[in-house]
Amino acid sequence: MLSVRGVHRSFGAGPSAVHALRDVSFDLAPGTMAALIGRSGSGKTTLLNVIGGLDRPDSGTVLVDGTDVTALDEDGLSRLRRDRVAYVFQTFGLIPVLSAAENVGAPLRLARVPAAERERRVELLLELVGLADHARQRPGELSGGQQQRVAIARALAASPRLLIADEPTGQLDAETGLSVMALLRGVVESEGVTALVSTHDPTMVALADRVIRIADGRLEGQLGEQAGGQDVT
């Protein structure tokens, strides 16, 4: 599903250049939930942005579902993010004036999905994230955890193949954050997506199938198939 090979990304030039990614390579199989861990400034967000086509590497390749992301033009990247790659951010990114259902359905409207089909998909996704009873509420009327659940439902609206989540629990308390991570775990299993989730929280890493550790732009190692009990500090 995801193949990253020899990815480098630097910002600036000369002695002051910041090498955000250095020869990063790894693969993720379909239906895998992987936790990307590392200290702030280690390169996690840059790596996620390169994989999702929000940033371009200086060298190397990224294949998502067989498509070379690094070779796409802007139109190709837009189609990739619309059809096959979805993002969840820690800031939620919901449209304040729209209800939960309208936020979830927004990507389907852009894709011109027929109204009846769109409504069925929105209803199914809100049920999946446990918010069927909050469909008509706006983001300001929801808790942080509920807003993140809406954001996850919206990310799944177009049935993406790859879900990228950048610190999705960063603004949530520990208990709510754990429930959101458990939801992501369930989504991987029920929707059949592959998920790459960056996080700082060791308790959340235990829910992942794989752990990828990054430090100073380099992968330090992939800590096996089961993350539970591993030291992720």
- In the chain, % of residues over pLDDT 90: 68
Per-residue pLDDT, 22: 94
Angstrom distance (rounded) from CA 61 to CA 74: 16
pLDDT at 149 over 60: yes
pLDDT at 203 over 70: no
pLDDT at 158 over 70: yes
Least confident of 14-18, 64-68, 140-144, 222-226: 222-226
Domains in the chain, CATH or no CATH each: 1-84+160-233 (3.40.50.300), 94-159 (no CATH)
pLDDT at 227 over 50: no
pLDDT at 232 over 80: no
Per-residue pLDDT, 134: 97
Per-residue pLDDT, 111: 87
pLDDT at 96 over 90: yes
Compute the average pLDDT of residues 78-97. 90
Compute the average pLDDT of residues 54-79. 94
Cβ–Cβ < 8 Å for 196, 228 = no
221 confidence band (pLDDT: 50, 70, 90): low
